[in-house]
Chains A and B, each alone.
Chain A
Amino acid sequence: MGPKDWEDDPLQNADYAKYPFLNDVSEFIRRSHFDFEEFDRPEMKDIVDEAAKRIEIEVDGKVYPDLDRFQKEVWTFLASLMMVKSLGIESIIRKYALFEAMRAENFLADDLKKIKDQNKIHLLLLKVFEELFKVKIKADHDDMRFYKVHVTDYLKRSSHFHEQEWKLINRMVNDGYVFLDAEETVRLFRNELSALIYDRVKAMSIASLPTSIKVKVEELRNSLAPRYEYRTYAVTEYPPCVKHALEVMGRGENLPHSARVMLATYMLAIGKQTDEVVELFKNAPDFNEKITRYQVEHLAGTKGSRVKYSVPSCEKLRNENLCFATEDCAGIINPVQFGRWKRQ
């Protein structure tokens, strides 16, 4: 039995199997009164093994491609959520959520390209985008290859992408809508889908873990955890923009506010303490320890809005004439990435 078992429903179990995070699937699980202990039954062994394999592949940075029948997919997804939750390693949860999102993204782009039945497309758009993300997406009736996303729904998401091609000006825009092909449409929602899956993991409450899952979790912990031991990099070399700011400071010259923000957020990002960062500004001609400390604490997110400010992007620094890029900056989009390639 699936979440929808009436014959004329355009979406069938085979469709739902690809999207186990949909509200209808959660409802199906709830109604089936499934008990977690059932994972210990011998016929569930395959599912538990599959779930562990899926996590390993995803943590390796690959999309898990296999797709089984509905029931198996649903229980595998549930088992994998439980395992990731029990592992409790933040980086693994994030990676799992991202690659689960990308897996669904592949299926969805494929469905949006291949399904010819308008009702079915409509329902899929409704179930995924409207129910999960409260965004209405329309099929372009003039050209079946395209989907219409409202300009504001587009901007809210695309403005966080770095690639120039996602800038609104490089899109086909008409009458309040951005026209995207199937891949672009689903790509636009990757972060949200990943966040949704992340939240599902976080929100899960497991009173007691079935033995079969517990065993797998320990196996996964042994094989995966060493990779995630806390690694500290000693930053031996600062990026040229930061170096420049430090030199100006060192000479006791005035540094523009935006350069100070860059310097402070960079130092905080590489793990320096507030005191150390405040110390850097001592040479500034207008140094006032109280004010500087307040501002650094603000940037660190320990005061004020409680939001930790990120280091301005290379693009932003270029626009503010604070970029002094050298060859070593090739391929980075934010000063914090400087030198990472070399270290690896």
Chain B
Amino acid sequence: MEKAVTENRNLEVVRAAFREYYFRQSKMIEIPEGIEKREFGYMPFGQGMVRHISFKGPGEVLAALVREVPSDVYCSNAYYRFPNLPMQEKQWLGADLIFDIDGKDLDLPCVPSHSYPVCSNCGHVSAPSESSDYTCPSCAGKKAEWVSIPCAKCIDGSKKEAKKLIDFLTEDLGIQRSAIRLYFSGNNGFHFHIDDESYRMLDSQARSDLVGYLSGIGLMAESIGVRKSPGGDLAYVKFPKSGLAYGWRKKIADRLKIDNTSTIRLTHLVQQKGGFSAFQSEIDAIARQAGVRIDPQVTTDVHRIFRMPGTLNSKSGLVKKRCELDSIDSFEPFSEACLLGDSRVQVQMKTHVRFKLKGESFNISKESAELPAFAAVYLLCKGLAQVA
């Protein structure tokens, strides 16, 4: 009972901060193109998803945000004739190409040092630990959810992937830089929206092939000229007649330091590896390394509702904020996407935490603290504090 009351008070504080944002900062909300053909969805605080909603114009969207104050807001990448009907009756008209780079999928070495185990049974929060074994010190429960406070290295990792993706999109796929809209996801990663009509009609299977290309999955040794000899695991080199000048072939050729003027070096490399299969495994590993870590589900789903630009992310209280491609290196999501107010909120800490928001460093080791709303909401959203 007491737990539920605290939960409600936490939600109320977060919701009040969100309300203020949607009321005062509505200019931050990016209304998508073709609004009347999009499906919208949202999560009311503490409840399940409401979707299959449509709006006629920007005014309706903004009014709904102020009225409902949702925890999360989504909009379809797809265009439909009837966006508010059930899925089978919507009549799909195409979908923007989208990508999701999530810091948690990058297996960065820094993650354990800022991931807090939250006991699934009693909600007790422990300090970060390198060990993957978990026992709750309060109730001895064995299951925990790990809450991460992304650090600068996490963001740099995501930026590196984002830059790789931009190179793939502009150089290989010929997409104009002006057609690429890049956003900080509002928590720990980046979202891409591509405004290029030629990609709109691709079905899920075609997008899946594109994901394979960008992720470096399925590259055959043959495509750089290493062919399997009939019988056995031997290989011979015969360069493809279209050469190695572009795309994946160039990426691999550069890494192996080969070109198609001589087969000697490549033949030697294959022998060194120990035959065709071993060389193929080497190619697989290089390609995975050179590819981009994107979430395949997001890109191949042509009926997805995706976080709407300019709205708040309830995992952090940060905004899904636009980042110009040219200023990606200097983009600081923990300042630029932190747009909640700074009225004071008294919170009770569940653990000792360190983080940086709006240029201000917080190092809280006390049991309770009075924090500006943006920082308090951040900790409440992460489940690392509760309203005092």
Q: Within 8 Å CB of B213, what residues of A?
A: 167-169, 173
When chains A and B are docked, how far (Å) is the Cα of A87 from the Cα of B117? 71
When chains A and B are docked, how far (Å) is the Cα of A179 from the Cα of B249? 13
Q: Within 8 Å CB of B174, what residues of A?
A: 151, 174-177
CB distance from B282 to the nearest CB of A (A): 16
Is the C-beta of A56 less than 8 angstroms from some C-beta in chain B?
Answer: no
B27-66 vs A, CB cutoff 8 Å, 1 = contact: the mask equals 0000000000000000000000000000000000000000
CB distance from B196 to the nearest CB of A (A): 9
Is the C-beta of A165 less than 8 angstroms from some C-beta in chain B?
Answer: yes
A152-B202, A304-B88 known; A174 vs B222 contact (CB < 8 Å): no
Contact of A168 with B210 in the complex, beta carbons under 8 Å: yes
Contact of A170 with B219 in the complex, beta carbons under 8 Å: yes
When chains A and B are docked, how far (Å) is the Cα of A46 from the Cα of B326? 70
Contact of A146 with B242 in the complex, beta carbons under 8 Å: yes
When chains A and B are docked, how far (Å) is the Cα of A145 from the Cα of B240? 12
Stretch at the interface among A10-18, A25-33, A155-163: A155-163
Contact of A172 with B249 in the complex, beta carbons under 8 Å: yes
Is the C-beta of A122 less than 8 angstroms from some C-beta in chain B?
Answer: no
Contact of A173 with B172 in the complex, beta carbons under 8 Å: yes
User: Which partner residue on chain A sits nearest B246 by CB separation?
Assistant: A174
**CB < 8 Å A-B pair total:** 89
Near A by CB (< 8 A), chain B positions 189-217 give 198-199, 201-203, 205-206, 208-210, 212-213, 216-217
Contact partner, A156, options B201, B218, B249, Cβ 8 Å: B201
Is the C-beta of A222 less than 8 angstroms from some C-beta in chain B?
Answer: no
B218-260 vs A, CB cutoff 8 Å, 1 = contact: the mask equals 1110110000000000000000111101111100000000000
CB distance from B311 to the nearest CB of A (A): 30
Is the C-beta of A181 less than 8 angstroms from some C-beta in chain B?
Answer: yes
Near B by CB (< 8 A), chain A positions 164-205 give 164-165, 167-177, 179, 181
A-B contact pairs, 6 of them (CB 8 A): A152-B199, A155-B202, A168-B210, A169-B216, A170-B219, A305-B88
Contact of B217 with A172 in the complex, beta carbons under 8 Å: no
Contact of B218 with A169 in the complex, beta carbons under 8 Å: yes
B141-153 vs A, CB cutoff 8 Å, 1 = contact: the mask equals 0000000000000
Contact of A172 with B203 in the complex, beta carbons under 8 Å: no
Q: Within 8 Å CB of B249, what residues of A?
A: 172
CB distance from B204 to the nearest CB of A (A): 9
When chains A and B are docked, how far (Å) is the Cα of A143 from the Cα of B246? 14
Contact of B248 with A150 in the complex, beta carbons under 8 Å: no
When chains A and B are docked, how far (Å) is the Cα of A231 from the Cα of B142? 59
Is the C-beta of B175 less than 8 angstroms from some C-beta in chain A?
Answer: yes
Near B by CB (< 8 A), chain A positions 287-342 give 304-305
User: Which partner residue on chain A sits nearest B287 by CB separation?
Assistant: A169
When chains A and B are docked, how far (Å) is the Cα of A176 from the Cα of B247? 10
Contact partner, A158, options B209, B217, B240, B248, Cβ 8 Å: B209
Residues of B within 8 A of A (CB): 88, 171-175, 198-199, 201-203, 205-206, 208-210, 212-213, 216-220, 222-223, 240-243, 245-249, 287
Contact partner, B243, options A152, A170, A172, Cβ 8 Å: A172
Contact partner, A181, options B173, B199, B242, Cβ 8 Å: B242
A155-B209, A159-B205, A176-B175 known; A170 vs B246 contact (CB < 8 Å): no
Contact of A159 with B209 in the complex, beta carbons under 8 Å: yes
Q: Within 8 Å CB of B287, what residues of A?
A: 169
Q: Within 8 Å CB of B202, what residues of A?
A: 152, 155-156
Q: Within 8 Å CB of A156, what residues of B?
A: 201-203, 206
Contact of B173 with A173 in the complex, beta carbons under 8 Å: yes
Interface size class of A (residues with CB under 8 A): 20 to 34
A130-153 vs B, CB cutoff 8 Å, 1 = contact: the mask equals 000000000000010110001110
When chains A and B are docked, how far (Å) is the Cα of A290 from the Cα of B175? 48
User: Which partner residue on chain B sits nearest A179 by CB separation?
Assistant: B242
User: Which partner residue on chain B sits nearest A150 by CB separation?
Assistant: B198
10 tightest Cβ-Cβ pairs between the two chains A and B: A176-B174, A174-B246, A173-B247, A155-B206, A159-B206, A175-B174, A168-B213, A170-B223, A172-B242, A159-B205
CB distance from A162 to the nearest CB of B (A): 11
Q: Within 8 Å CB of B219, what residues of A?
A: 169-170
Q: Within 8 Å CB of A177, what residues of B?
A: 174
When chains A and B are docked, how far (Å) is the Cα of A159 from the Cα of B208? 8
Contact of A169 with B172 in the complex, beta carbons under 8 Å: no
When chains A and B are docked, how far (Å) is the Cα of A145 from the Cα of B241? 9
Contact of B220 with A168 in the complex, beta carbons under 8 Å: no
Contact partner, A170, options B175, B205, B218, Cβ 8 Å: B218
When chains A and B are docked, how far (Å) is the Cα of A177 from the Cα of B216? 18
Contact of B222 with A165 in the complex, beta carbons under 8 Å: yes
When chains A and B are docked, how far (Å) is the Cα of A217 from the Cα of B114? 78
A145-B241, A146-B242, A175-B171 known; A170 vs B222 contact (CB < 8 Å): yes
CB distance from B181 to the nearest CB of A (A): 18
When chains A and B are docked, how far (Å) is the Cα of A169 from the Cα of B222? 12
CB distance from B52 to the nearest CB of A (A): 15
Contact of A155 with B172 in the complex, beta carbons under 8 Å: no
Contact of A151 with B209 in the complex, beta carbons under 8 Å: no
For the complex with contacts A164-B220, A170-B219, A174-B171, 9 further pairs of A-B residues with Cβ separation under 8 Å are A150-B198, A152-B202, A169-B212, A173-B246, A175-B171, A175-B174, A176-B175, A177-B174, A181-B242
Q: Within 8 Å CB of A152, what residues of B?
A: 198-199, 201-202, 206
Contact of B206 with A167 in the complex, beta carbons under 8 Å: no
Contact of B242 with A151 in the complex, beta carbons under 8 Å: no
When chains A and B are docked, how far (Å) is the Cα of A168 from the Cα of B209? 6
Q: Within 8 Å CB of A143, what residues of B?
A: 242
Contact partner, A173, options B88, B198, B248, Cβ 8 Å: B248
CB distance from B59 to the nearest CB of A (A): 34
When chains A and B are docked, how far (Å) is the Cα of A150 from the Cα of B201? 13
- Most-contacted residue by chain B among A146, A172, A174, A179 (CB, 10 A): A172
A151-B174, A152-B199, A174-B246 known; A181 vs B216 contact (CB < 8 Å): no
Contact of B172 with A167 in the complex, beta carbons under 8 Å: no
Contact of B210 with A170 in the complex, beta carbons under 8 Å: no
When chains A and B are docked, how far (Å) is the Cα of A72 from the Cα of B127? 85
When chains A and B are docked, how far (Å) is the Cα of A305 from the Cα of B85? 13
- Most-contacted residue by chain B among A158, A160, A170 (CB, 10 A): A170
When chains A and B are docked, how far (Å) is the Cα of A164 from the Cα of B219? 9
CB distance from A146 to the nearest CB of B (A): 6
When chains A and B are docked, how far (Å) is the Cα of A164 from the Cα of B209? 11
User: Which partner residue on chain B sits nearest A184 by CB separation?
Assistant: B242
CB distance from A143 to the nearest CB of B (A): 8
